[in-house]
């Protein structure tokens, strides 16, 4: 084999090696890019899944486990009372009216619980009067005086909150945990023993 032929063969071999290296390098870079894209896609899916779980965990609604709808209403003294301000306490969110016989039967039990157990069990009672469907604020004040009510009575003067909480049959009570989430809905009157039992199972 002449030197010229040898040189041509050598150049051909070197060119082949160079071409192979270029192809392999391109293949490696392509795989790295695919892996990176796959990683980013998976992270995006995981992030979206985490966001969805977070939204679900903080879902606002009326089912057990939902965060209760927040609202602000006036009390009998004209002060603004906001539901979310009571997070950290367990809450009986009670809907009632002065003309409702079961509400009248329930009130003394609620007051007894409030005096004897509420502080010990870290419980607040918020009694939302369906004022729009009732006989006026003065009637509500007289009722509170007659029944010696000391827990907050809130006035739903426009009827929006009662509707939002679907309090079509009264009394209706939502049991809220310390995070403001609904644990249970009670339709009908409660007595003191029932109230104690309900809150013993709430964190």
pLDDT in tens, 106-157: 999 999 999 999 999 999 999 999 999 999 999 999 999 999 999 999 999 9
Do 22 and 76 lie in one domain? The reply is no
Residue where one domain finishes, among candidates 10, 32, 57: 57
Q: Same domain for 16 and 52?
A: yes
Does residue 196 share a domain with residue 159? yes
Domain that holds residue 46: 1-57
- Supply the pLDDT for residue 53: 45
Average pLDDT, the chain: 84
The single-letter DSSP state of residue 83 is: G
Judge if 101 and 24 occupy the same domain. Answer: no
Whether 77 maps to a domain, the answer reads: yes
Neighbour order of strands in the sheet with 72-75 = 80-82, 72-75, 153-155, 123-129, 90-96, 172-176, 182-187
Helix (H) or strand (E) holding 124: strand 123-129
- The reported pTM is 0.73
Residues 14 and 96 in one domain: no
Same domain (yes/no): 40, 91: no
Structural domain contains residue 64: no
Please give the pLDDT value at position 104. Answer: 98
Do 121 and 91 meet the contact criterion of CB atoms below 8 Å apart?
no
Residue 42 within any structural domain of the chain: yes
Are both 113 and 148 inside the same structural domain?
yes
Asked if residue 89 and residue 20 are part of one domain, the reply reads no
**Domain-located, residue 66:** no
Statement to judge: residues 100 and 195 lie in one domain: yes
Give the mean model confidence (pLDDT) for residues 181-186.
98
pLDDT tens for each residue of 58-94: 799 999 999 999 999 999 999 999 999 999 999 999 9
148 and 182 together in one domain? yes
The answer to whether 125 and 110 are in contact (CB under 8 A) is yes
Q: How many domains does the chain have?
A: 2
- What's the pLDDT at 28? 44
């Amino acid at each position: 084999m002449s030197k010229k032929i040898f040189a041509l063969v050598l150049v051909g071999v070197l060119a082949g090696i160079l071409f192979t290296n270029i192809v392999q390098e391109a293949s490696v870079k392509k795989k790295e890019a695919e892996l990176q894209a796959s990683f980013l896609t998976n992270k995006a899916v995981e992030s979206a899944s985490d966001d969805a779980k977070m939204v679900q965990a903080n879902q606002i609604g009326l089912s057990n486990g939902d965060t209760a709808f927040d609202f602000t209403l006036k009390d009998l003294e004209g002060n603004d009372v906001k539901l979310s301000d009571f997070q950290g306490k367990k809450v009986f969110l009670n809907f009632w009216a002065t003309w409702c016989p079961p509400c009248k039967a329930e009130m003394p039990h609620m007051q007894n619980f409030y005096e004897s157990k509420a502080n010990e069990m870290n419980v607040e009672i918020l009694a939302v009067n369906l004022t729009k469907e009732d006989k006026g604020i003065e009637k509500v004040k007289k009722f509170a005086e007659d029944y010696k009510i000391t827990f907050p009575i809130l006035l739903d003067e426009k009827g929006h909150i009662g509707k939002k909480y679907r309090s079509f049959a009264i009394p209706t009570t939502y049991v809220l945990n310390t995070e403001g989430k609904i644990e249970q809905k009670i339709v009908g009157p409660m007595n003191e023993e029932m109230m104690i039992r309900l809150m013993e199972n709430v964190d």
